[in-house]
Structure 1
Amino acid sequence: MELILDGLSVVTDGRSLLRDLSLEVGGGQVVGLVGPNGSGKSTALRCVYRALRPSSGTVRVGGDDLSRLPVRRSAQLVAAMTQESAVDLDFTVEEVVALGRTPHLRGNQALGRRERELCARTMGLLGIGHLARRSVLTLSGGERQRVLLARALVQEPQILVLDEPTNHLDVRHQIELLSMLRGCGPTVLVVLHDLNLAAAACDRLGVLSDGRLVAAGPPAEVLTPELVGQVFGVTTCVVAHPLTGDPQLLYSLPSGLKGTS
């Protein structure tokens, strides 16, 4: 299902957090948002999962204005894994994952056989099946991160929104998670800080700076030394990955930092 951000602007307390952002995410695509801290990436995601109402502009899912849909319907269409996601109650992993089915159930309706199988299959896919009966309070940060992603996936959304999903994950699990995004089904809009991971995992990138979209397109077209220098203020050399051909950035430390301890 296609996701369209059409002229989104967010102004709060006299500050412009997002300025006329327009971006299309084709059905089944993985599109990454990258940019410096404070550039508006998380603000854009909050508009998509309806945690924040844009000052102007529209979020469209499959042609429908998301703000005009009932909350229950939008929760069936859009699932989010955010930086603020937290589980502070003594729930088991399987109980937390099962919460992803809430938009599809009515009242205190119990999970059916299909829902239970979906939860078990998703936990297995993310390598947390063996943790099903563990309290989430006993898990590491990386394990909790995978539990929260499983909760989002069992929601069976058409649109999956992820804000820095690789936080707390080791290299292996970062790669496994991002590889899985391509085949997980939903259209994906993801915020990533690691530009090399973003280049490898995403079909297209949108680069934000000071609340504005300054570039959008395939990673090889967007991640140029000139743009990275302009937006991030760092010197880079861009090379092709020897196995995949994806652009990879090699960073140069300022000479004054070399050899310091």
Structure 2
Amino acid sequence: MELSLDGVTFALDGDTLVRDLSLHVGTGQIVGLVGPNGSGKSTALRCVYRALRPTGGTVLLDGRDLTSLTPRESARAVAAMTQDSSVDLDFTAEEVVSLGRAPHLRGNRTPSERERGLVTGTMARLGIGHLAHRGILTLSGGERQRVLVARALVQEPEVLVLDEPTNHLDIRHQLELLALLRGSGPTVLVALHDLNLAAAACDRLAVLSRGRLVASGTPEEVLTAELLREVFGVRADVVRHPRTGDPQLLYVLPAHP
């Protein structure tokens, strides 16, 4: 499924958080949103998964206005894992992951054998099968993060929206998660802070600054020393990864006064 943001704007109390954002994510692509804190990444994502309604512009799924879909239709098409995802009740990890099937169930119908297998298989892929019967509130931040990613994947969305999915994860699980996304199938729009991870995981990057799109293209096209200086305020050398050829950034610490 193709995802398009066509001139999306969001303003609140006279402050424009996202301004005239146009972005296209092709079917099966992974596009990363990157930018400094406060650049509008999370606000843009919230417009995609309908937590916010744009004050201007349109979000389109295969050319269809997202707002024309019913909540159930959009929940079947778009799954999200947000920075503020939380579970206040002490469900088991397996129960939390199973909640991803809610948009597909009607009434009191219980999950089918296929759906139970989907939950079990997805948890195994994310290395959390052994946590199935643990209470979600007893898990570490990284374990809980992987449970929430599993919940989104079990939803079987055509578009997956992830806001900083590698938060709380150690480096091994960061790499495993991003590798899983590359083979998961859905169209993916993901906000990432780590530019080296973004360069390795994403087909294209979109750079936001103060709510505006300032650059878009492949990681090699976007991640230049000039852009890093102008947008992020840092100095860095851009080199190629010796194994993959992906651009990687070597940051230069500012000189002490």
Q: TM-score, normalised by structure 2?
A: 0.99
> SS of 1:107's equivalent?
coil
Q: Distance in 2 between matches of 1:225 and 1:100?
A: 41
Residue matched to 2:25:
25
Does 1:34 find its partner at 2:44?
A: no
Describe the superposition over 1:194-233 as per-residue Cα deviations: whole angstroms up to 9, x where unpaired.
0000000000000000000000000000000001110000
Q: Distance in 2 between matches of 1:131 and 1:227?
A: 42
| Cα displacement (A) at 1:107 | 1.7
> SS of 1:244's equivalent?
coil
Matches within 5 A, 1:158-177: 158-177=158-177
Describe the superposition over 1:79-109 as per-residue Cα deviations: whole angstroms up to 9, x where unpaired.
0000010012110011000000000000221
Q: Distance in 1 between matches of 2:107 and 2:144?
A: 27
Deviant stretches of 4+, over 2 Å:
none
Residue matched to 1:155:
155
| Cα displacement (A) at 1:27 | 0.2
> SS of 2:148's equivalent?
helix
Describe the superposition over 1:166-213 as per-residue Cα deviations: whole angstroms up to 9, x where unpaired.
000000000000111111010000000000000000000000000000
The letter for the 2-side match of 1:250 is: L
Residue matched to 1:85:
85
Q: Distance in 1 between matches of 2:146 and 2:86?
A: 12
| Cα displacement (A) at 1:51 | 0.2
Runs of 5+ consecutive residues of structure 2 not aligned to the other structure: none
Describe the superposition over 1:99-145 as per-residue Cα deviations: whole angstroms up to 9, x where unpaired.
00000000221111111000000000000011101101110000000
Matches within 5 A, 1:53-132: 53-132=53-132
| Cα displacement (A) at 1:255 | 1.2
| Cα displacement (A) at 1:64 | 1.0
Give the total of aligned pairs: 257
Residue matched to 1:146:
146
Q: Percent identity?
A: 72
Q: Distance in 2 between matches of 1:233 and 1:219?
A: 18
Residue matched to 1:229:
229
Runs of 5+ consecutive residues of structure 1 not aligned to the other structure: none
Residue matched to 1:247:
247
The letter for the 2-side match of 1:254 is: P
Q: CA RMSD in A?
A: 0.7
Q: Distance in 1 between matches of 2:228 and 2:59?
A: 28
Q: Distance in 2 between matches of 1:18 and 1:255?
A: 34
Q: Distance in 1 between matches of 2:90 and 2:201?
A: 34
Matches within 5 A, 1:39-54: 39-54=39-54
> SS of 2:38's equivalent?
coil
Q: Distance in 2 between matches of 1:104 and 1:45?
A: 23
| Cα displacement (A) at 1:163 | 0.1
The letter for the 2-side match of 1:88 is: D
| Cα displacement (A) at 1:13 | 0.4
